[in-house]
Amino acid sequence: MERERPASDDLAGSAAAPLSHMEPGTRGADAHAGRTVQPVVGMEPARGLRPPALPVHADGAPTPPEAPLAMPVQDFRGPPPPGPTPQRAVREVVLARVIAFGGSALITALGFWQMLLVLNGQLQPLQYVLLVLFSITFGWVGFSFCSVVAGLCAKPPRTPADPGHARVAIVMPVYHEDASLSLSLLSALADELAAEGMADRAEIFILSDSRNPDDFVAETLAVAQMRQTCPIPVWYRRRTDNSGRKAGNVAEFVRRWGGRYDQMVVLDADSVMSGRVIAEMSARMAADPDLALVQTIPVLVGGQTIYARVVQFASRVYGPAVGRGVAAWSGDNGNFWGHNAMIRLDAFASCCGLPDLPGKPPFGGTVMSHDFVEAALLRRAGWKVRLDWDLRASYEGCPPTLLDMAVRERRWAQGNLQHLGVIGAKGFTAISRVHFAIGVLSFVMSPIWLAMIVVGLALTAHAILVTPEYFPQTYQIFPSWPTFDPTRMKWLFIAAGCLLLLPKVVAVLRARGRPLEAASGGMGWLSLSALFEFVLSTLIAPVAMLIQSRQIFDILRGRNSGWESQVRKGAMPPWDVVWSRHWVHVLWGIVITAVISYLSPGQLIWLAPILLGLILSPLVSRFTASSVLGRSARMAGLLVTPEERRTPPVVTAAIAHARQLRTPDRAAERLGSDPALRARHVALLPPAPPDAPVATRLPAIAAGAKIAVASSRVEALAFLDQPERRALFSDAELLAQWAALPR
């Protein structure tokens, strides 16, 4: 449920300050030419030693001088590092927890009791299983409802008048992304930070893990172009050792340059926040020395396909109430979602060095869903971790298709199941363990739901095909009649539906007179969009259930998800791909429909949404991936969000920057024939370590030998394998040797 917006709210609709009228003395385009900055006075007191000023680029260096910050690896069985003294939860947080957890416990108990009455009599083993599975499912639905209700207790945080003087790093880890699109978001953000007066204390750091030469060459060329006009310093570092994935990437940044900054904002490659929101977050953190992490609730934008627009619409309509509820019962014990958040660097460094988990993947090795663990580690040491739900101008993209979402969720599922190995760590707070449990249940509920359906069908078949035993005991006088209360079961089904739908109905009704109603063209169109979203989500739900259940099964079998780049822009999959992914869902739907039609046709009405979703899954998966249908829906006023009618200024500016930062196709190969491009790329290469082991230099040695015997650049590239290609485009001398060859 949305609240009345304060002046700082709904920043998505505010106009961006003119970027060509920055105050004198701020760092503009000439910053990259070697201009210096005076030390910042009145800086927020730091817990560790910091350099007194933020020098700008010197001689076009890719990275600033190192300012190491110790980040020790944590021991989950040992005591936490010293931190602030935790404060008791305030009255509003305690009340929210009573509503969320007490209410869900009561609903679970009522569901268990009523289901026990439905199965009145001497329960068989399968009936006990059904009772347990139903109680868990009913309780999960009840918790979602109670969590939203608990949001009524939330009070919006306040932004102090003093903006503070903390030094801020805008950190974006990238891995095989479209460089022009990702960096355009940072360029637009940099302009807004300058307009907010933060140009003298904010810097951008792009942390690349890309391995494909075409990708990281595109990154260096885009960074070089961005540096020419960006009003704040832009740094670029690509590491060749990808240990720890994203968490390891950020950890290396903290250990090498963390002492240079007080706060860091972590963004994903498709996410951004307004400059005003970052200024507010910085001020809030500066005013509270115990606040270590401020997480925002990103608004989904940019959806083009039907699937993306459905997810985007649902998040915009129902997400604020859910986020407000989580913030209410979390209090200062919030969670971290890995991006669109501000972090106090010295607290993060002292608490969040992640060890590898014991054993092999998927349960051992690198901590995949590191964000939950980092939030718990911060809270373990006494730091505040907060979800500031009132900061609205925070944005990210969403997967374009159902199949792309399934790939992303496979990795999330593995990461959340890994948390079973750390949930019992010494010193974690009860609420941190609740966050872990919710993450695990969000994926485990799919196989639980599937098991409940299968057990229900088995009981139905047993009741129809097996003759009841009325006298199970030899000397029994009175018969044992099989009992089942269909009326009570119907009311239980209605109660579960109400718990699911009531928050959605309230969210739609509360949109009256707000931007959501105006964007949709009135309550009628908004209600129609909500109905369309409900129908399509209902059809997708059983397919998602089977996909997630398969993912859990694969993880339990020991299959690792790997590390693949994320799909940001989707395309309608061909029929052969659709059938290969969904034929088993169609088969399940047809078989279950045939069996139920024969055994108990009356139950088809209750199972119709599930069976239709399975049988129609290829059609739903393919056509919801259509951007043409997505644009048609928008033109018709369906699934429209306020951010589509009034595009956030930072997103609009990013579109313009993307055109300027676009790099040529096959950028790596262009370096051989374009000396200017090659010079830009070489300028951003890190210096080769003088004492590198011979084993790490073997690809470069082999590449040099093959280039020496090649008759042309094309032939040289044909000789090189992938590691040798990486070595070529990471070494200035090899590039010069290769470029000297004829085309």
What does the pLDDT read at residue 547? 94
Over residues 637-648, the mean pLDDT reads 93
Over residues 574-586, the mean pLDDT reads 93
* CA angle, residues 174, 180, 184, in degrees to nearest 5: 90
| Beta strand pairing call for 271-273 and 394-396 | antiparallel
Per-residue pLDDT band for 598 (boundaries 50, 70, 90) equals: confident
Out of 346-360, 610-624, 692-706, which region has the weakest mean confidence (pLDDT)?
692-706
Question: Which residues, 6 or more positions from 505, have their beta carbon under 8 angstroms from its beta carbon?
Answer: none
Q: Which residues partner with 344 through β-bridges?
A: 263
Query: Which residue do the tokens 């951007």 mark?
Result: 627
Hey, what are 51's tokens?
């350099």
Over residues 563-581, the mean pLDDT reads 81
Out of 368-382, 419-433, 459-473, which region has the weakest mean confidence (pLDDT)?
459-473
Hey, what are 350's tokens?
């002292």
pLDDT digits (tens, 9 = 90+) for 436-466: 999 999 999 999 999 999 998 888 887 777 6
What is the pTM assigned to this prediction? 0.87
Largest CA distance in the chain: 101
Q: How far is CA 571 from CA 427, 507, 577, 602, 610, in A?
A: 46, 32, 12, 40, 26
C-alpha 474/C-alpha 488 separation (Å) is: 33
Over residues 284-304, the mean pLDDT reads 96
C-alpha 50/C-alpha 233 separation (Å) is: 18
Per-residue pLDDT band for 606 (boundaries 50, 70, 90) equals: confident
Q: How far is CA 417 from CA 93, 436, 444, 551, in A?
A: 28, 9, 9, 11
Question: Under DSSP, is residue 491 helix (H, G, I), strand (E, B) or coil?
Answer: helix
Per-residue pLDDT band for 38 (boundaries 50, 70, 90) equals: very low
Per-residue pLDDT band for 468 (boundaries 50, 70, 90) equals: low
pLDDT digits (tens, 9 = 90+) for 507-517: 999 888 888 88
Q: Is the pLDDT of residue 94 over 50?
A: yes
C-alpha 43/C-alpha 201 separation (Å) is: 10
Question: Under DSSP, is residue 568 helix (H, G, I), strand (E, B) or coil?
Answer: coil
C-alpha 684/C-alpha 208 separation (Å) is: 12
C-alpha 281/C-alpha 264 separation (Å) is: 11
Over residues 215-241, the mean pLDDT reads 94
Beta strands in 325-479, from DSSP E residues, in sequence order: 341-344, 384-387, 394-396
What does the pLDDT read at residue 472? 56
Q: Is the pLDDT of residue 250 over 90?
A: yes
What does the pLDDT read at residue 1? 36
Strand order in the sheet with 394-396: 271-273, 394-396, 299-300
What does the pLDDT read at residue 610? 92
What does the pLDDT read at residue 48? 40
| Beta strand pairing call for 234-238 and 291-295 | unpaired
Amino acid, single-letter form, for residue 177: E
Over residues 528-537, the mean pLDDT reads 95
| Beta strand pairing call for 202-208 and 234-238 | parallel
Count of residues making up the chain = 743
Nearest CA among 518, 439, 397, 392 for reference residue 12: 392
Q: Quote the percentage of the chain above a pLDDT of 90.
A: 73
Give the residue with greater pLDDT, 493 vs 418: 418
C-alpha 45/C-alpha 639 separation (Å) is: 47
C-alpha 743/C-alpha 677 separation (Å) is: 16
Question: Which residues, 6 or more positions from 579, have their beta carbon under 8 angstroms from its beta carbon?
Answer: 618
What does the pLDDT read at residue 263? 98
Question: Which residues, 6 or more positions from 183, have their beta carbon under 8 angstroms from its beta carbon?
Answer: 206, 219, 222, 223, 226, 657, 661
C-alpha 577/C-alpha 304 separation (Å) is: 21
Give the residue with greater pLDDT, 130 vs 475: 130
Sign of the Cα pseudo-torsion (386, 388, 393, 396, in order): positive
689, exposed or middle or buried, with CB in 10 Å at 0-12, 13-18, 19+?
A: exposed
SS (H, E, C) 574-591: CHHHHHHHHHHHHHHHHH
Per-residue pLDDT band for 325 (boundaries 50, 70, 90) equals: very high
Sign of the Cα pseudo-torsion (413, 414, 420, 425, in order): negative
What does the pLDDT read at residue 474? 58
Over residues 652-675, the mean pLDDT reads 91
Per-residue pLDDT band for 486 (boundaries 50, 70, 90) equals: confident
For the chain, the first-to-last Cα distance in angstroms comes to 63
Hey, what are 517's tokens?
């109603």
Hey, what are 578's tokens?
């659709």
DSSP 390-405: T---EEE---SSHHHH
Q: Which residues partner with 395 through β-bridges?
A: 272, 299
Hey, what are 331's tokens?
């209090």
Out of 4-18, 383-397, 499-513, 680-694, which region has the weakest mean confidence (pLDDT)?
4-18
Over residues 237-256, the mean pLDDT reads 93
C-alpha 635/C-alpha 314 separation (Å) is: 18
C-alpha 211/C-alpha 216 separation (Å) is: 7
Residue 616 DSSP one-character state: T
What does the pLDDT read at residue 18? 30
C-alpha 284/C-alpha 192 separation (Å) is: 19
User: What average pLDDT is seen over the chain?
Assistant: 87
Per-residue pLDDT band for 8 (boundaries 50, 70, 90) equals: very low
Over residues 608-621, the mean pLDDT reads 94
C-alpha 639/C-alpha 627 separation (Å) is: 13
What does the pLDDT read at residue 19? 30
Q: Is the pLDDT of residue 308 over 90?
A: yes
**How large is the C-alpha radius of gyration of the chain?**
28
What does the pLDDT read at residue 44? 40
Cβ(170)–Cβ(205) below 8 Å:
yes
Query: Which residue do the tokens 């790997």 mark?
Result: 562
Q: Which residues partner with 294 through β-bridges?
A: 342, 386
For the chain, helix (H) and strand (E) counts, in that order, are 27, 10
What does the pLDDT read at residue 57? 56
Query: Which residue do the tokens 């009034």 mark?
Result: 646
Hey, what are 552's tokens?
């859990």
C-alpha 667/C-alpha 222 separation (Å) is: 11
C-alpha 721/C-alpha 36 separation (Å) is: 44
Instruction: Give the number of other Cβ atoms within 10 Å of residue 557's Cβ.
Output: 8
What does the pLDDT read at residue 664? 85
Cβ(154)–Cβ(331) below 8 Å:
no
Q: Is the pLDDT of residue 589 over 70?
A: yes
C-alpha 87/C-alpha 385 separation (Å) is: 12
